[in-house]
Amino acid sequence: MTRLKYTIFNNLYLLILVIIITSDRLFHLSMPYFILGLILFVAVLIYQYHFFYPSHPNYNPKNYRITKMGWATTAVGCLIILLLILFSSGSIWIWPAFLIAFLIRDYFSTLK
């Protein structure tokens, strides 16, 4: 298992949420598409936590430890998100910055 596979799979639900939010803000989706995206988001969460993680403990986030580099990127990502919130009201880049911060944090995580 590579760190990249863990990173992507662990943040798959967040990726879906960011795609839903940004596509809604860009294309002004109608309600059925937005609800379909939320159903997909919930389905991925249920699948991960109730079916996949118990049978594949190597992917379980409880078995990973965030390194110093991961905490540093989380802090920088939170600072960037805070600056986006303060200086660009209603910016579409807040959610992708949130996703990137979490992807980088999980990439630098190591097995316990």
Question: pLDDT of 53-82, one tens digit each?
Answer: 888 888 888 889 999 999 999 999 999 888
How many folded domains does the chain comprise? 1
Paired with 65 in beta bridges are 110
Residue 29 CA, chain-centre distance (Å), reads 21
Question: pLDDT of 7-35, one tens digit each?
Answer: 998 999 899 989 888 888 888 877 788 88
Question: pLDDT of 82-95, one tens digit each?
Answer: 888 888 877 788 88
Range of the domain at 8: 3-111
| pTM exceeds 0.85, yes or no | no
Distance CA 80, CA 90 (A): 14
Residue 35 CA, chain-centre distance (Å), reads 19
